[in-house]
């Protein structure tokens, strides 16, 4: 590629900020360029196999430069990712889940993880991390809130340090409305 197809990183960050409405501080991008030879910009697609959000960065003289065509492709990818997020949220509101067991997908309210074909766990960003009640298990069939049993012992990390984040005491999830049950 020729130098004409390059632009200063500072200008790329400003362009991204204008299009996306947000960005990290310029120094964050400069540090990424220095450490890795690329910068990450924008949201990634969740359902696509290709999730790369990198743009190559090269230092010419005293200025970090990026390829203008890669920035434009990343801006288009970011717009697609935002539209996908909106669609995933609408699908969730209409009781449609995506992904198989273990898949976690972001939504505008937070995220959900498909626990099994019968249950999923919704996490709401309005709760603080490790605050009681931030994960709500739902029956994926009737969409009622599921009940939980917590008979498993705490793991070593939870017992001695801090929460492991794996919900290690959960032993059973069940739906009182339709009778579906999942032992863990």
In terms of domains, do 82 and 137 share one?
no
Q: Which residue is associated with the tokens 């632009």?
A: 7
- Does residue 72 share a domain with residue 148? no
Residue spans of the chain under pLDDT 50: 1-2, 130, 132-133
3-class secondary-structure state, position 66: strand
My answer on whether 62 and 103 are in the same domain is no
The pTM score is 0.80
Per the CB < 8 A criterion, the answer to whether 138 and 146 are in contact is yes
Two structure tokens written together for 94: 């209409």
DSSP structure class, residue 145? B
Q: What is the pLDDT of residue 51?
A: 80
Both structure tokens of 136: 């709500």
Q: How far is CA 16 from the centre of its chain?
A: 19
Q: What is the pLDDT of residues 119-128, one digit of tens each?
A: 999 988 865 5
10 and 79 assigned to the same domain: yes
Number of domains making up the chain? 2
**35 and 76, same structural domain?**
yes
Whether residue 82 is found in the same domain as residue 105: no
pLDDT tens sequence across 49-76: 778 899 999 999 999 999 999 999 999 9
Instruction: Yes or no: say if 119 and 138 are a contact pair by the CB < 8 Å rule.
Output: yes
Residue-level pLDDT at 32: 96
Tokens of 69: 């065509």
Residues 71 and 57 in one domain: yes
CA distance 164 to 147: 21
Indicate if 42 and 21 belong to the same structural domain: yes
Structural domain boundaries enclosing 156 = 95-183
Let me know whether 79 and 139 are in one domain: no
Q: What is the pLDDT of residue 1?
A: 45
Q: Are residues 101 and 134 in the same domain?
A: yes
pLDDT value for 96? 96
Q: Are residues 75 and 42 in the same domain?
A: yes
**The pLDDT value given to residue 116:** 83
Based on the fold, state whether residues 68 and 117 are members of the same structural domain: no
- Of 90, 118, 145, which residue constitutes the final position of a domain? 90
Structure tokens at 13: 């960050």
Domain boundary among 56, 90, 124: 90
Last-in-domain residue among 69, 90, 111 = 90
Structure tokens at 134: 């931030």
d(CA 95, CA 150): 27
């Amino acid at each position: 590629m020729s130098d004409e197809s390059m632009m200063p990183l500072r200008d790329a960050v400003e362009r991204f900020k204008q299009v996306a409405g947000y960005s990290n501080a310029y120094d964050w991008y400069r540090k990424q360029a220095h450490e890795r030879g690329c910068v990450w910009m924008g949201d990634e697609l969740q359902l696509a196999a290709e999730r790369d959000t990198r743009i190559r960065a090269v230092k010419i003289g005293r200025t970090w430069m990026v390829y203008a065509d890669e920035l434009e492709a990343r801006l288009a990818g970011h717009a697609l990712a935002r539209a996908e997020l909106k669609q995933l949220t609408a699908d969730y509101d209409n009781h449609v889940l995506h992904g198989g067991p273990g898949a976690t997908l972001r939504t505008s309210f937070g995220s959900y993880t498909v626990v099994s074909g019968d249950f999923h766990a919704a996490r709401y960003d309005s709760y603080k991390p490790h605050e009681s009640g931030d994960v709500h298990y739902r029956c994926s069939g009737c969409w009622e809130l599921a009940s939980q049993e917590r008979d498993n012992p705490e793991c070593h990390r939870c017992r001695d340090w801090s929460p492991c984040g794996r919900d290690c005491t959960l032993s059973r999830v069940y739906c009182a409305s339709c009778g579906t049950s999942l032992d863990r």
